[in-house]
Amino acid sequence: MSYREDAKIDIYNLHTEWAGQPSIYIDYAEQYADAVAIMMRADEKVKVVKTEGKKRVDEERARLDADIRINPYLYGLDPDKKPTEAAIAGAIILHVDFKKIQDAVVNEIASAAEAYIEAVRNKELLEGVKIAFSHRKAALENEVQLFLNQYYADPKIPKPYKEAQQEEVRQAIQDSLQDMKGLKEGDRSSVRGLRRRPV
């Protein structure tokens, strides 16, 4: 079930809702703790990927730097002149192997950063869910108070109206009885005679 469904309160089963509140809260608190741990690991992974990536880039830069100084002609530099630092740096940046390593490192960092962002999002969401379940507890307390104060009971009729209604019913019954007494004996026998005739 989702946290949206778990947050709903069935006001017709408050006893069940109260009984389930602690276990639901614990479930989401555990998920929150897991999300914090995942976020911390993702943050560390970003740092490790950056450090390892920088190390690989620096190693490739050093390898190319040494190779360019020994074989400048392989990198498009004039073999008769000593290459300048700017020329070596430019040749390194333009080299295919260096670009591949840089691109790979950038992709690894982006992937690790995306995993960290998702972990932070999940952690923040679960933090909000924990707060929502604290609000759910308060809502349950209020629902119970409403129930105890008979908020959900049938409407109460004020005493003057109730007495007036009872008097009206009493009067209608008396009038009906009076009407029955008022029937003449002949009228009653004719009514009985109608019932006895064959059809």
Annotate 115-158 with DSSP letters as a single string: HHHHHHHHHHHHHHHHHHHHHHHHHHHHHHHHHHTTTTSPPPPP
For all residues of the chain together, what is the average pLDDT?
A: 86
Examine residue 132 and state whether it is found in any structural domain, yes or no: yes
Same structural domain for residues 88 and 11?
A: yes
Q: What percent of the chain has pLDDT over 70?
A: 89
What mean pLDDT is predicted for residues 127-133?
89
Same structural domain for residues 91 and 119?
A: yes
**What SS3 class is residue 21?**
helix
Same structural domain for residues 16 and 75?
A: yes
In the prediction, which pLDDT does 187 show? 56
**pLDDT over 50 at 124, yes or no:** yes
Same structural domain for residues 30 and 89?
A: yes
**pLDDT over 70 at 189, yes or no:** no
CA distance 119 to 55: 26
Q: Which of 54, 69, 159 is nearest to 108 (CA)?
A: 54
Same structural domain for residues 166 and 92?
A: no
Domain count, the chain: 2
Residue owning tokens 């670009």? 99
CA distance 131 to 143: 18
Examine residue 184 and state whether it is found in any structural domain, yes or no: yes
**pLDDT over 60 at 193, yes or no:** no
In the prediction, which pLDDT does 164 show? 86
Residue 177: HSE in the Cβ half-sphere, 13 Å Cα cutoff? 6
Same structural domain for residues 117 and 167?
A: no
CA angle 23, 32, 36 (to 5 degrees): 155
Lowest mean pLDDT across 33-37, 108-112, 140-144, 149-153: 149-153
* pTM for the model: 0.63
Same structural domain for residues 68 and 166?
A: no
Query: Per-residue pLDDT tens for 12-66?
Result: 888 888 888 888 888 888 999 999 999 999 999 999 999 999 999 999 999 999 9
Same structural domain for residues 35 and 85?
A: yes
**pLDDT over 80 at 157, yes or no:** no
Q: Which of 31, 43, 7 is nearest to 124 (CA)?
A: 31
Q: Amino acid identity of 41?
A: R
**Final residue belonging to a domain, choices 148, 171, 188:** 148
**pLDDT over 60 at 161, yes or no:** yes
Q: What percent of the chain has pLDDT over 90?
A: 43
CA distance 39 to 41: 5
Cβ atoms of 140 and 18 within 8 Å: the answer is: yes
In the prediction, which pLDDT does 199 show? 46
Same structural domain for residues 181 and 120?
A: no
Examine residue 153 and state whether it is found in any structural domain, yes or no: no
Domain extent, residue 169, equals 159-196
Torsion of CA 131, 137, 138, 142, to 10 degrees: 150
Same structural domain for residues 64 and 117?
A: yes
CA distance 131 to 62: 53
Residue 97 CA, chain-centre distance (Å), reads: 46
Same structural domain for residues 88 and 20?
A: yes
Examine residue 154 and state whether it is found in any structural domain, yes or no: no
CA distance 71 to 118: 47
Same structural domain for residues 52 and 113?
A: yes
What mean pLDDT is predicted for residues 113-131?
93
In the prediction, which pLDDT does 195 show? 52
**pLDDT over 90 at 135, yes or no:** no
